Amino acid sequence: MLHEGPRVILRLPKIRQCIVAHPEPFRWFSGRRIELELLELMRMNRAVICRDENGEFDYTDAIMQALERRINEVITDVCVRMRMEGSRFINADAISDRIMM
């Protein structure tokens, strides 16, 4: 399994079927997940910078606000796309948690 690397995933029938039958939605959701992961990393790094020597957080930081805004936009896009495709799952926080698993 170590020698095959990511190709091992293709042995799983549901994932293989998803990739073969619906490559565009799978690619779209994967792109959103990667973007969210990068935004979360940038937010964690910025959170360290925004703390003062007493450990208090500066909520007025423009970069942090922009990161939060973009994270919310991406999650909203995913929620809308899921609803359009027939999902009844509407809790944005739960969707965000599932994406970041």
Angle, nearest 10°, between helix axes 92-99 and 62-84? Answer: 100
Q: What is the Cα–Cα distance from 99 to 101, expressed in whole angstroms?
A: 6
Beta bridge partners of 57: 51
Per-residue pLDDT tens for 34-92? 999 999 999 999 988 888 888 788 888 899 999 999 999 999 998 888 888 787 777 88
Query: Residue 29: pLDDT above 90?
Result: no
Residue 53: predicted pLDDT: 81
pTM for the model: 0.70
Residue 87: predicted pLDDT: 77
By C-alpha distance, which of 76, 86, 6 is closest to 36? 76
Per-residue pLDDT tens for 11-26? 778 777 766 676 777 7
